[in-house]
Homo-oligomer: A and B are copies of this chain.
Amino acid sequence: MRDEPAFWTIAEAAARLRQRKLSPVELAQDALARIEELNPQLNAFITVTAERALRDAQIAEREIRKGRYRGALHGIPISLKDNIWTRGVRTTAGSKILREFIPPADADAANRLWKAGAVLIGKTNLHEFAYGITTENPHYGATRNPWDTSRIPGGSSGGAAASLAAGIGFGSVGTDTGGSIRIPSAFCGIAGLKPTFGRVSCGGIVPLAATLDHAGPLARNVADVAMLLDFIKQTDEPEGHFQRALRRRAKTKKACAKLRLGWPRDYFFASVDEEVKHSIERAAGQFEKMGARLIEVSLPHVEDATEPSTQIALAEAREYHESQGYFPARAEDYGEDVRKRLEMGGAVRAVDYLKAQEVRERVREDFRAAFGQVDGIIAPTTPIAAPHLGEQTVHIGSKTESVRGALVRMNRPANFTGFPVISVPCGFTRDGLPIGMALHGPEWDEAKLLRIAYAYEQATEWHLRHPE
């Protein structure tokens, strides 16, 4: 075990807590000290719950001392994206409108963490109302990427990913409506899972677009992601199901024997930065070395997903904000970009919304057909590494594209289908920026997906690098 608690795995921290070599209070204090040191620069937290963290840690300490050990999250400092309701702790959703909102209850996923004994250190920054991918928040300031603070951490779960990359807390729960867990995970060099739609309850989470919203875990490595998923999921697998899935075959030389991995012929590699593409190809080579077979797969309708899924997101977001009386009543309280999207949402025709749902079924069929042939599909999480704050457009090869467009087109399809995707670190650019690989899996089989991701992680060391 390394000496620096900040970069321990959850299992490493848990072992010390359980054996009482370390107290939850010390661990919480360490996390809070790191926040104090690093947050002024990163701006990853909207609210730091120092008092609550110490109180919860004391309770955990007492329980563990009395032998009432609740499992691997007992006494572990975690954060939550600030659109996830926390009883008694304000939950802004990154908005001015909810600046003073103190939820009367916990979100389902949060409540499951409290049952497991996890310790809340704070609520992380996000793109306003989770409706954007930069985390340049007009009300609470931009979060910065710990690998290069002139760059964005991605979004909308930017604060969660930035804080974890910086060694603050052991895990976080984010939300993902068009890449909001995966994009910041890739940009910050951590692991993030958008599970199957419905795996983790969105109950008590400020919605963005009800049929595209997913909640899921972010952490510094795949094992921690699996552990968090075991605790926050609302489905009925036996205890420790996803963690156990990792142990099979991991660390053996032929960890991926018999594994069939899909290499998408179309779409996902259509317009990707060369450095990113090279990293994914190298990762594919690594899988082959471990015994996997690469198979070209075709996803002909994925290209059609962007426009309809955007229409669905626009309409559902607008409906929520309109129903709550936020928009257009308080239009001036929104940042310009989100206000513009909500305005656009009012113009979506019901007919197009309904047609979009039909495209959705076609895209699902594409993935189902592919997963008839392969166990997982490899793709870049993002076609570029983290851009600078304020950058609106990026150059990919000879093309210029909006930052938002480039990031969403790679990620939205999985929100559209509801199929699970995990992003794991798979390299760095010459500028030292992390690159993320997206592993797409069949619906409801996160166990398989996590096993594949874990085999890769065990064979590589990208997840062990940390920003200075």
Binding site for B on A (CB under 8 A): 311, 314-316, 318-319, 322-323, 345-355, 358
Contact = CB atoms under 8 A, between A and B. Distances in A.
A349 to B, nearest CB: 6
A353 B210 CA distance: 14
Given A323-B355, A355-B322, A348 B349 contact: yes
Contacts of A354: 315-316, 319, 353
Contact of A348 (B318, B347, B350): B350
A419 to B, nearest CB: 24
B345 A315 contact: no
Contacts of A349: 315, 346-350
Nearest to A345: B351
Number of identical monomers bound together in the oligomeric complex: 2
12 contacts: A311-B350, A315-B349, A316-B354, A318-B350, A319-B354, A345-B351, A347-B349, A349-B349, A349-B350, A350-B353, A353-B353, A353-B354
Interface of A is mostly: helix
A346 B351 CA distance: 7
* Residue among A345, A350, A352, A355 with the highest chain B CB neighbour number at 10 A: A350
Contacts of A345: 350-351
Nearest to A356: B350
A347 B345 CA distance: 14
Contacts of A358: 323
A316 B323 CA distance: 21
A352 B350 contact: yes
Contact of A355 (B319, B348, B352, B353): B319
A399 B426 CA distance: 73
Contacts of A352: 350
Contact of A319 (B323, B348, B351): B351
Contacts of A347: 349
Contacts of A322: 351, 355
Nearest to A314: B350
Given A319-B350, A322-B355, 6 more contacts: A315-B350, A315-B351, A319-B351, A345-B351, A349-B350, A353-B353
A68 to B, nearest CB: 42
A416 to B, nearest CB: 16
Nearest to A210: B354
A449 to B, nearest CB: 31
A352 B345 CA distance: 11
Contact of A318 (B316, B319, B351): B351
A380 to B, nearest CB: 31
A129 to B, nearest CB: 16
A403 B338 CA distance: 45
Contacts of A346: 349, 351
Cβ-closest 9 pairs across A and B: A315-B350, A350-B353, A319-B354, A348-B350, A319-B351, A350-B350, A318-B351, A322-B351, A315-B351
A314 B350 CA distance: 9
